């Protein structure tokens, strides 16, 4: 069967003849790949700074952002059937009995570090014609989301991050409740800044607008540009860091209640952290490669965190709840902003285009390999 993967020992990225998997237990499901999204993690694995094959395998099949269609189910599978569309989660639990998060199906909080990740760490991914997975790692997707459901996985980053924030902000009368929540969304009256206008940032911004936040996307490229147009088309405001300084950003926004960092750059992130408002929350999602140290106004930031009761939280995707929420929210986005949502998928390619997509210049917002 056709697959795309890396052979780290030979430093090659290539098409691989991978054995077709079959169901081995009653709880397994066989899935035919439809769409596989490509992201920075895949591209990094292709530079061999990251990623490891399963034990005993020379290669790692890539791909962790998948939409597939079920072609067979094990005898014990109850919630899914042949023909259903599904999105798999990525992380699988570590084997240690004492790892409480993994034993509670919260392997995104694995305490030992011995988790594995499909297409990334010690288990093959989804950039292949068929794969098999456990029922509990597959999330049902309604047919109306066929075109866009490959965006579920990158949206789970925002879903999980925001869930953490709402959890902690229960400490405050933060956000709306009751009738106001139903009418305006729980972020109504609050201001959010998203750093970065890549797929993680734009999907995060959509989520924040849908929740009622007045949302600003602060990113590098000068407007007008394609990403800025998409951002403005669903009601967020795009501001370029090339033309507007952090101080000017704050003057425009006012008290920043929430920062959703999706830029992956420490310097700009800490500059904006300095501007976080009273009782504000800062969500880090970026995973920058190690670089030389940058100067940070540590005393000022520390003082603000304390005196303004701020919250700083990191988030790595994601638990089942985040996947379920992402699927629900894509349903909302496609109703509200069908053109904007579809325009996040800037290219669909046949598998043979993998080389340019993984090793060439990064272009567009979300590029997808279609196996269908």
Residue numbers of the site for ligand NAP (CB under 6 A)? Answer: 39-40, 157, 196-201, 219-221, 227, 241, 262-265, 268, 285-287, 315-317
Binding residues for Zn ion restricted to 103-132, rule: CB under 5 A: 110, 112
**Gyration radius of the chain's alpha carbons:** 21
Q: Which option in Zn ion, ligand NAP, none does residue 102 bind, with CB closer than 5 to 8 A by kind? A: Zn ion
Which residue, 175 or 196, is less far from ligand NAP as judged by CB?
196
Q: How far apart are CA 22 and CA 61, in angstroms?
A: 16
Which residue, 160 or 176, is less far from ligand NAP as judged by CB?
160
Q: How far apart are CA 112 and CA 282, in angstroms?
A: 25
Tell me the Ramachandran region of residue 168: left when phi exceeds 0, alpha when psi lies from -120 to 50, beta otherwise: alpha
Q: Which helix (H) or strand (E) holds 292?
A: none
Question: CB of residue 71 vs ligand NAP: minimum separation in angstroms?
Answer: 28
Among 18, 31, 34, 41, binds Zn ion (CB under 5 A): 41
Question: CB of residue 218 vs ligand NAP: minimum separation in angstroms?
Answer: 7
DSSP β-bridge partners for residue 240: 219
Say how many CA atoms lie within 13 Å of 302 toward its Cβ: 4
Greatest alpha-carbon pair distance for the chain in Å reads: 61
Which residue, 12 or 112, is less far from Zn ion as judged by CB?
112
Question: CB of residue 53 vs ligand NAP: minimum separation in angstroms?
Answer: 21
Name the DSSP class of 267: H
Residues binding Zn ion: number (CB under 5 A): 7
Among 16, 36, 60, 99, binds Zn ion (CB under 5 A): 99
Nearest Cα to Cα of residue 95 among 110, 109, 77, 79:
110
Contact (CB, 8 A) for 42 and 92: no
Question: CB of residue 102 vs ligand NAP: minimum separation in angstroms?
Answer: 17
Which residue, 94 or 230, is less far from Zn ion as judged by CB?
94
Which residue, 28 or 117, is less far from ligand NAP as judged by CB?
117
Binding residues for Zn ion restricted to 56-95, rule: CB under 5 A: 94
CA angle 281, 325, 171 (to 5 degrees): 35
Which residue, 151 or 327, is less far from ligand NAP as judged by CB?
151
Nearest Cα to Cα of residue 351 among 339, 333, 368, 364:
368
Alpha carbon distances (Å) from 294 to 245, 260, 266, 288, 297 = 18, 21, 8, 13, 10
Alpha carbon distances (Å) from 356 to 20, 187, 209, 347 = 26, 40, 34, 12
Question: CB of residue 44 vs ligand NAP: minimum separation in angstroms?
Answer: 8
Question: CB of residue 51 vs Zn ion: minimum separation in angstroms?
Answer: 12
Q: Which option in Zn ion, ligand NAP, none does residue 99 bind, with CB closer than 5 to 8 A by kind? A: Zn ion
Which residue, 187 or 199, is less far from Zn ion as judged by CB?
199
Question: CB of residue 286 vs ligand NAP: minimum separation in angstroms?
Answer: 3
Q: How far apart are CA 300 and CA 152, in angstroms?
A: 37
Binding site for Zn ion (CB under 5 A): 39, 41, 94, 99, 102, 110, 112
């Amino acid at each position: 069967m056709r697959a795309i993967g890396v052979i780290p020992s030979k430093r090659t990225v290539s098409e691989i003849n991978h054995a077709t998997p079959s169901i081995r237990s009653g709880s397994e499901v066989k899935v035919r790949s439809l769409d596989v999204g490509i992201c920075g993690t895949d591209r990094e694995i292709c530079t061999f700074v990251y990623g490891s094959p399963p034990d005993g395998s020379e290669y790692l099949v890539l791909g962790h952002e998948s939409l597939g269609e079920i072609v067979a189910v094990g005898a014990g599978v109850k919630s899914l059937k042949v023909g259903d569309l599904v999105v798999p989660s990525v992380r699988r639990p570590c084997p240690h009995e004492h790892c409480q998060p993994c034993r509670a199906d919260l392997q995104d909080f694995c305490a030992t570090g011995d988790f594995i990740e499909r297409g990334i760490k010690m288990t093959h991914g989804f950039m292949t014609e068929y794969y098999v997975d456990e029922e509990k790692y597959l999330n049902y997707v309604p047919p109306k989301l066929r075109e866009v459901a490959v965006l579920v996985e990158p949206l789970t980053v925002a879903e999980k991050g925001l869930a953490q924030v709402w959890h902690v902000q229960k400490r405050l009368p933060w956000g709306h409740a009751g009738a106001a929540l139903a009418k305006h969304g729980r972020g109504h009256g609050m201001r959010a800044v998203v750093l970065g206008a890549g797929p993680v940032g734009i999907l995060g911004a959509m989520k924040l607008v849908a929740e009622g936040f007045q949302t600003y996307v602060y990113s590098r490229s000068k407007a007008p540009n394609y990403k800025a147009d998409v951002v403005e088309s669903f009601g967020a405001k795009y501001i370029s860091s090339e033309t507007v300084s952090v101080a000017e950003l704050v003057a425009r926004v006012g008290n920043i209640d929430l920062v959703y960092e999706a830029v992956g750059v420490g310097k700009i992130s800490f500059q904006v952290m300095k501007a976080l408002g009273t009782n504000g929350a800062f969500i880090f999602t970026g995973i920058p490669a190690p670089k030389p140290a940058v100067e940070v106004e540590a005393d000022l930031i520390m003082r603000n965190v304390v005196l303004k009761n701020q919250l700083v939280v990191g988030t790595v995707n994601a638990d089942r709840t985040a996947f379920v929420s992402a699927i629900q929210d894509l349903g909302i986005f496609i109703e509200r902003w069908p053109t904007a949502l579809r325009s996040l998928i800037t290219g669909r390619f046949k598998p043979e285009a993998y080389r340019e997509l993984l090793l060439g210049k990064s272009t567009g917002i979300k590029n997808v390999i279609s196996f269908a």
